[in-house]
Structure 1
Amino acid sequence: MSIDHTPIENISANQADSQRRKTLQGMAGILAGMTAPAWISSAWAQDKFPSKPITLIAPWPPGGSSDAVMRAFAESASRSLGVSVIVDNRPGAGGTLGATAMVNARPDGYMLTQLPLGVYRLPHMQKMPFDPVKDLTHIACLTGYTFGLVATMDAPFKTLKEMVAYAKANPGKVEYGSTGTGTTPHLAIEEFSQKAGIELNHIPYKGSAELMQAILGGHIRVMSGTTEFAPLVKEGKLRLLATLGRNRTKAFPDVPTVKESGWDTITESPFGIGGPKGMDPAVVRVLHDAFKKTLEDPKVLETLDRFFQPVIYMGTEEYTRYGARTFEAERSTIERLGLAKK
């Protein structure tokens, strides 16, 4: 656009009026072009979130209980958000690859992850590319794992006390599997075996599906894991020696906890949804509300019941405080077990 700069005094009154109007219109257009995109873009972004599919990282392989639960949450949240929530399986590194991905993810709400307990623990054991307090946005806690110690039906022990006696008589000969080094099932048994004064050989697997294949195939006699074992225990194919929570699970009321069996070990593991640091609070609120609503979905609740996972809800602020508190508690546990990074 060009603006005529002919001096007004050299033209007629009508021409001058016309010139003034053109000049004012031109300046208004320039100002509008300078200022409109910023506020229009901002309002558009706020009004349209979400406007494309959201990726939700499940840091475990497909086929296990964690995968099934995350897919149930994703499907339910998709209906509330009006866009697809796509589960992206990234197994390995003790369930921390989702948190690792958040470090370089844009904080726009389109990349999220499950936050298992290992996210707060492993940075104390080895160098990790993220700080769970500084580098993550805690959106909502939704549920938690129930852990158990399970044996094959042909194992030479039928109770936890019998397993401890056998391990003491055969030091180093009892092998147990878990979902990976540094995961909660692994460290729970390390703490238990330390208190029981026994030596167990740990065999890590990449996830619960692989772990279940190993024990059903007879490659290991004992496993520590979440309740993907539950259907097989009910079918009489595996034996549940003890659960690791504060109280007995309602699914197996006759099975004692590890603490009831004589060793002061309690392991509980809430988890929820997180994103990168620096997320817009308005976007966090939209995501929080959508995932909170999943806890009212009968299909989600049925999936949680199938894997004996209770509803453990925490809102954004409470979940953020939980993350900071748990990070420090895990530091103490790792130092006590002598597993802190050098």
Structure 2
Amino acid sequence: MRPVDRFSPNRRQVLSMAAAVAAPAILPAHVLAQDKFPSKPITLIAPWPAGGSSDGVMRAFAESAGKVLGTTVVVENKPGAGGTMGAAAMVNARPDGYLLTQLPLGIYRLPHMQKMSFDPVADLTHIVCLTGYTFGIACTADAPFKTIQEMVAFAKANPGKLEYGHTGTGTTPHLAIEEFSGKAGIQLNPIPFKGSAEIMQAILGGHIRVMSGTTEFAPHVQSGKLRLLATLGSQRNKAFPNVPTLKESGWDTIVESPFGIGGPKGMDPAVVKVLHDAFRKTLEDPKVQETLDKFYMPSIYMSTADYTAYAERTFKAEKATIERLGLAKKS
């Protein structure tokens, strides 16, 4: 009889080795299933109070993107600090794509005005730009002026007595009116609020006469409760064709404000692409378009590369604006 080679495998050993060889073919699928993005809910920060136009738009984007991504996108409101709370939250966040934020224009401006915890270019991933605000100056229906020219005349006759509400010190509605006031030679009394919803409560309640903000004023203008004096864009708003812009009224102040979705720095490009594609597709969603139309916001799409370049340009441009207005932080 031939002696058994002690190094020759028996049947059980052969099966074990075969299983071991097969294991690597099984493991990658298991690992990929675990690593597939997204595999859990995503949080999207809206840096404004609940109930305002910004909150409504972000919730529409979140719901639509969640359907595309196959997960829930939960909106978390973090109001205050001129809309920069979302960007600040990205500094210590894991760059895994599960915490995102709206990126309003103020994040490129406020770091030039005061010490902030983030650098809007170096500390953020700009994923996709989606839309933008339309700004305007509105007043109560019983205000003692009916046009922007009459408001200027009233302010000149009553220096520092005409109050106006805005969305926070250093935000676009605030700086737009400060620039306009300087060019018009008037002194207004600015009253900061945490967001558009609070401003609307104040002006509809008769606590302030004038507001500078987004088009959340629109339905109240249409109902006759408020009067729209001017819009701040480069062209008249199609919803209010009879309302002049500040520029055509004689004061060269133009304010337009694109915004989109961002995350922490260092995100995996593959995850960024998944998020970019999902949020871009939301612009094709009829419910999203209905919400944008409701708040008179246009579709303003920028790819990841274009949005990143926009951020770099805007950060530099805002620095120049802040220095021109004498609002730069002390070094």
Report the equivalent of 2:5: 14
In the alignment, residue 79 of structure 2 is paired with which amino acid? P
Unaligned runs of 5+ residues in structure 1 are 1-11
Paired residues in the alignment total 329
Report the equivalent of 1:69: 57
Report the equivalent of 1:9: none
Report the equivalent of 1:200: 188
- TM-aligned CA deviation for residue 151 of structure 1: 0.6
**Structure 2: distance between partners of 1:162 and 1:42:** 68
- TM-aligned CA deviation for residue 44 of structure 1: 3.9
Report the equivalent of 1:128: 116
Report the equivalent of 1:140: 128
In the alignment, residue 59 of structure 2 is paired with which amino acid? R
Q: Does 1:252 align with 2:243?
A: no
- TM-aligned CA deviation for residue 169 of structure 1: 1.1
Report the equivalent of 1:268: 256
- TM-aligned CA deviation for residue 118 of structure 1: 0.4
Correspondence list, 1:326-337, <5 A: 326-337=314-325
Q: 1:227 aligns with which of 212, 215, 218?
A: 215
Correspondence list, 1:37-56, <5 A: 43-46=32-35, 48-56=36-44
**Structure 1: distance between partners of 2:289 and 2:202:** 29
- TM-aligned CA deviation for residue 17 of structure 1: 2.6
In the alignment, residue 292 of structure 2 is paired with which amino acid? L
**Structure 2: distance between partners of 1:327 and 1:156:** 39
Report the equivalent of 1:97: 85
Report the equivalent of 2:201: 213
**Structure 2: distance between partners of 1:156 and 1:137:** 47
Correspondence list, 1:278-297, <5 A: 278-297=266-285
Q: CA deviation digits over 1:27-69, x for unaligned, max 9?
A: x969x89xx97x67863455x2101000000000001000000
In the alignment, residue 63 of structure 1 is paired with which amino acid? G
**Aligned-partner SS, 1:239:** strand
**Structure 2: distance between partners of 1:178 and 1:310:** 22
**Structure 2: distance between partners of 1:291 and 1:330:** 27
Report the equivalent of 1:4: none
**Structure 2: distance between partners of 1:16 and 1:125:** 77
The normalised TM-score by structure 1 is 0.91
Report the equivalent of 1:3: none
Report the equivalent of 1:178: 166
Correspondence list, 1:155-174, <5 A: 155-174=143-162
**Structure 2: distance between partners of 1:275 and 1:238:** 37
The normalised TM-score by structure 2 is 0.94
Report the equivalent of 1:242: 230
Larger Rg: 1
**Structure 2: distance between partners of 1:208 and 1:153:** 18
**Structure 2: distance between partners of 1:42 and 1:224:** 52
- TM-aligned CA deviation for residue 15 of structure 1: 1.4
Report the equivalent of 1:315: 303
Unaligned runs of 5+ residues in structure 2 are none
**Structure 2: distance between partners of 1:189 and 1:124:** 18
Report the equivalent of 1:82: 70
In the alignment, residue 15 of structure 1 is paired with which amino acid? R
**Aligned-partner SS, 2:6:** helix
RMSD: 2.4
**Structure 2: distance between partners of 1:91 and 1:206:** 6
**Structure 1: distance between partners of 2:7 and 2:68:** 59
Determine what percentage of the aligned residue pairs are the same residue.
Answer: 75
**Aligned-partner SS, 1:172:** coil
**Aligned-partner SS, 1:16:** coil
In the alignment, residue 61 of structure 2 is paired with which amino acid? F
In the alignment, residue 177 of structure 1 is paired with which amino acid? G
**Aligned-partner SS, 1:15:** coil
**Aligned-partner SS, 2:230:** strand
In the alignment, residue 280 of structure 1 is paired with which amino acid? D
